[in-house]
């Protein structure tokens, strides 16, 4: 006997009708159809009118009930087109260029006690990927702040400007950093202003997602070393374990920075921003308030810094 569950079709319901009318037992009908006797019993009860168990089994009535039940089963889409939630999410993605995480946080702040108006960022990403090919899907994908290059296309530009020595490449970094099990491991980079005349340093803790911003006097290596040292020295020594930076020339003074902070420094591979995913995503959200070509930090201003959770 086949123990795998299966749905009965119209022909099998016809066999049940004929054999039951002939007086066959449930076990005999189940052996004929290679299914359990309990399945035949449920089928006979489903095929009788409600409240009238004495009425004979009707295969057509049972088939209609089965098809109606199949239409009601399954999980309803939260982002179904035409609903309030769908219009809100799509509007923030296309017009505001918000990330899925930002939309989720906004919904939680607006409707903390209404689960029907809440959605996860995974659901938003899945809804975008489920769109058919065309202008709408392309418009949704452009709303993502971080874009992946097309598969199969290799970068043709040179990876010049790397100051990372072979011994400090990320491939040699301890494996315990990948697990995000303990705090103290950071990712850092610079957000540069117009014409590289100003910059803000950002470092993000991998486990707690704590964000530290450091205003700098410029984009030079000396300015980066001074800015990161000034801000990260405020942290307890136990939270200064290791930091992973981009391999740009602004980190040329990394030996001095490592000596001042007593911290291990590692460098990503050229053009491999995904190796600092937490920092890159944070920089993308911060850059929303800094339009291209805008110069919000004057190099002559007194440097200051802020600390906040990412």
Residue 271 located in a structural domain: yes
- Domain shared by 201 and 274, yes or no: yes
Q: How many domains does the chain have?
A: 3
- List the structure tokens of 34: 């290679």
287 and 200 both lie in a single domain: yes
Could you give the CA distance from residue 304 to residue 196 in angstroms, rounded to a whole number? 18
Q: Are 110 and 217 members of one domain?
A: no
The whole-number pLDDT of residue 152 equals 43
24 with 124, same domain: the answer is no
Strand duo 305-309 + 210-216: pairing: antiparallel
| pLDDT tens, per residue, the chain with 310 residues | 445 667 888 888 888 888 888 888 988 988 888 888 888 888 888 777 765 666 778 888 888 888 888 887 777 778 888 888 988 988 888 888 788 888 999 999 999 998 888 988 888 888 877 766 655 556 566 655 555 544 444 454 444 556 778 889 888 888 888 888 889 999 999 988 777 778 889 999 999 989 999 988 888 899 999 999 999 999 998 899 999 998 888 889 999 999 999 999 999 988 887 888 888 888 887 877 665 555 444 443 344 444 444 4
pLDDT at 62: 84
Q: Where are the alpha helices (DSSP H) in 176-309?
A: 221-232, 254-261, 277-286
- Residue 204 has a pLDDT of 94
The encoded tokens of residue 107 equal 């919904």
Closest CA to 286 of 102, 27, 67, 94: 102
175 with 300, same domain: the answer is yes
Confirm if 187 and 176 have CB atoms less than 8 A apart.
no
Phi, psi angle pair for 30, to nearest 5°: -65, -40
pLDDT for the residue numbered 144? 59
Asked whether residue 209 falls in the same domain as residue 108, the answer is no
Residue 301: the pLDDT is 39
Same domain, 68 and 182: no
Pair 105, 54 in one domain: no
What's the CATH code of the domain at 207? 3.30.420.10
Q: How far apart are CA 58 and CA 49, in angstroms?
A: 9
Domain that holds residue 59: 10-72
- Res 68: pLDDT: 85
Same domain, 292 and 173: yes
> Could you report how far apart the first and last alpha carbons of the chain are, in Å?
58
Final residue of a domain: which of 24, 41, 72? 72
Look at residue 136 in the predicted model and tell me its pLDDT.
54
């Amino acid at each position: 006997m086949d123990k795998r569950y299966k749905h009965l079709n119209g022909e099998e319901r016809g066999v049940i009708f004929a054999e039951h009318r002939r007086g066959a037992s449930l076990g005999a009908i189940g052996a004929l159809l290679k299914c359990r006797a309990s399945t035949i019993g449920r089928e006979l009860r489903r095929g009788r009118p409600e409240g009238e168990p004495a009425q004979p089994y009707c295969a057509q009535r049972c088939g209609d009930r089965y098809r109606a039940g199949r239409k009601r089963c399954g999980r309803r889409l939260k982002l179904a087109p035409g609903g309030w939630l769908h219009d809100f999410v799509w509007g923030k993605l296309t017009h505001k260029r918000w990330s899925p995480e930002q939309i989720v946080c906004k919904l939680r702040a607006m409707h903390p006690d209404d689960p029907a108006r809440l959605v996860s960022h995974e659901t938003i990403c899945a809804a975008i990927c489920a769109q058919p090919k065309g202008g709408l899907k392309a418009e949704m994908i452009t709303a993502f702040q971080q874009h992946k290059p097309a598969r199969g296309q290799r970068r043709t530009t040179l990876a010049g400007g790397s100051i990372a020595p072979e011994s400090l490449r990320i491939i040699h970094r301890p494996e315990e950093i990948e697990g995000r099990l303990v705090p103290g491991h950071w990712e850092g980079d610079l957000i540069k202003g117009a014409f590289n005349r100003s910059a803000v340093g950002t470092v993000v803790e991998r486990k707690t997602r704590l964000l530290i911003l450091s205003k700098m006097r410029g984009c030079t290596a000396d300015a980066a070393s001074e800015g990161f040292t000034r801000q990260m020295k405020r942290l307890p020594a136990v939270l200064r374990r290791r930091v992973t930076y981009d391999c740009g020339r602004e980190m040329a003074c990394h030996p001095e920075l490592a000596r001042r902070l007593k911290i291990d420094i590692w460098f990503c591979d050229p053009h491999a921003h995904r190796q600092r995913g937490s920092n890159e995503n944070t920089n993308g959200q911060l850059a929303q308030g800094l339009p291209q070509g805008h110069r919000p930090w004057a190099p002559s201003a007194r440097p200051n810094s802020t600390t906040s959770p990412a």
